[in-house]
């Protein structure tokens, strides 16, 4: 008994330290980003910053095309990955027989571990030419190609997390629904999915997070032309994302130059975007939990 309490003390402390360190690290990262990036707001006039041309070696620092590029690729990837990912999760958790499930789940998890540079390579050699010929575009290196590959990256995350959430819904829920005469589809759509909503939303957010933060793949297949997307047609044109810009240019800049600060400013924007997405998701999850608890009690 003495020994257990000692190890318990150690473990609780360790968990506490790791928990707080996560907050601390995020805080430090943000302070670092602010320190390196905020000078850009003074050095670069706002009219330049919010222009539509990004060409740093001649002092054009318009970040709008980069933000637009990241958004269009991420939204495109989400539009493909969310329905597909959720449908796969529902199939694995609710529909597939036991043996199929035991094969599918590990396969999806292996897919999640694929290095993104590998997918980028497949994209540039196989997917880009196919996209060009199939849609008759001038070039296959487009936002759409990036979105397709990013969805391939985020689908495994979505499937894996959402399937866990669906699996955690007590069997009694389904039994009750079926006993009330609901069809299988009604049970899934009206009972199981709403009950697992917070987990499913987390899955979607993690998937989107992987998509917006992904660098190597988009750098290889989106063509990296900093053009401000102005409509749906931009999906079929080359685009340049914030992450690819940072990755491509950070190695070259002189420490402390305007360009260096501008790249950190892009980093701040990226940080803020993911913060907003996460806060929005968290607020929805918490609201949902309260309602679910009300129903349960």
Partner 1 sequence: MRIFPPLNPLKLQILIIFCILTTACGRLSEDQNNGSSASIENKGSDTIVNLALAWAEEYQDVNPAVRISVTGGGSGTGIAALINGTVDIANASRSIKPEERESAQGNGIDPIEFVIARDAIAIIVNMENPVDKLSIDQISDIYSGKINNWTEVGGEDRPIVRLSRETNSGTHVYFLENVLRKGNKEDKTLFSMDTLLLPSSEGISVEIRQNPNAIGYDGLGYVTEDLKVIAVAEPGSSEYILPSAQAVNESLYPIARDLYMYTAGEPTGEVLEYLEWILGPDAQDIVTELGFVPIIR
What residues make contact with partner 1 under the rule CB under 8 A? Answer: 1, 3-4, 7-8, 11, 52-53, 55-58, 60, 124-125, 128-129, 132, 138-141, 219-220, 223-227, 237-238, 240, 248-249, 251-255
User: Measured from the CB of residue 223, what is the shortest distance to partner 1 in angstroms?
Assistant: 4
Contact at 8 Å (CB) between 64 and 136? no
User: Measured from the CB of residue 209, what is the shortest distance to partner 1 in angstroms?
Assistant: 24
Shorter beta-carbon distance to partner 1: residue 80 or 218: 218
User: Measured from the CB of residue 144, what is the shortest distance to partner 1 in angstroms?
Assistant: 14
The residue among 270, 273, 226, 279 whose CA lies nearest residue 56 is 226
The residue among 236, 225, 268, 227 whose CA lies nearest residue 41 is 268
The residue among 130, 153, 264 whose CA lies nearest residue 215 is 153
User: Measured from the CB of residue 87, what is the shortest distance to partner 1 in angstroms?
Assistant: 33
Shorter beta-carbon distance to partner 1: residue 84 or 247: 247
User: Measured from the CB of residue 84, what is the shortest distance to partner 1 in angstroms?
Assistant: 27
Residues contacting 70, CB < 8 A, separation 6+: 212, 241, 242, 243, 270, 273
Shorter beta-carbon distance to partner 1: residue 67 or 227: 227
Shorter beta-carbon distance to partner 1: residue 145 or 202: 145
Shorter beta-carbon distance to partner 1: residue 107 or 118: 118
Residues contacting 240, CB < 8 A, separation 6+: 54, 65, 66, 69, 222, 223, 224, 225, 226, 227
User: Measured from the CB of residue 1, what is the shortest distance to partner 1 in angstroms?
Assistant: 7
Shorter beta-carbon distance to partner 1: residue 88 or 241: 241
Tokens of 128: 């880009």
């Amino acid at each position: 008994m003495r020994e257990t309490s000692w190890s318990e003390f150690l473990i609780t402390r360790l968990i506490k330290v790791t928990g707080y360190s996560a907050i601390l690290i995020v805080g430090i990262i943000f302070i670092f980003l602010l320190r390196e990036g905020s000078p850009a707001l003074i050095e670069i006039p706002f009219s330049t910053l919010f222009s539509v041309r990004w060409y740093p070696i001649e002092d054009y620092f318009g970040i709008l095309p980069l933000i637009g590029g990241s958004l269009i690729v991420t939204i495109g990837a989400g539009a493909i990955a969310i329905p597909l990912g959720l449908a796969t999760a529902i199939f694995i958790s609710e529909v597939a027989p036991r043996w199929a499930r035991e094969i599918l789940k590990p396969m999806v998890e292996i897919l999640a571990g694929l290095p993104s540079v590998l997918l980028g390579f497949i994209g540039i050699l196989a997917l880009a030419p196919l996209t060009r010929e199939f849609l008759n575009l001038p070039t296959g290196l487009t936002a759409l190609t990036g979105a397709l590959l990013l969805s391939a990256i985020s689908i495994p995350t979505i499937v894996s997390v959402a399937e866990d959430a669906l699996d955690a819904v007590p069997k009694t829920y389904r039994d009750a629904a079926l006993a009330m005469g609901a069809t299988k589809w009604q049970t899934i759509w009206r009972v199981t999915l709403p009950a697992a909503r917070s987990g499913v939303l987390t899955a979607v957010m993690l998937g989107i997070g992987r998509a917006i933060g992904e660098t190597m793949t988009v750098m290889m297949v989106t063509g990296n032309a900093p053009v401000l997307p102005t409509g749906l047609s931009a999906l079929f044109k080359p685009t340049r994302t914030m992450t690819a810009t940072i990755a491509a240019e950070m190695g070259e800049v002189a420490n402390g130059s305007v360009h260096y600060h501008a790249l950190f400013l892009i980093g701040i924007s990226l940080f803020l975007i993911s913060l907003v997405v996460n806060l929005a998701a968290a607020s929805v999850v918490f609201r949902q939990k309260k309602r679910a608890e009300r129903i349960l009690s």
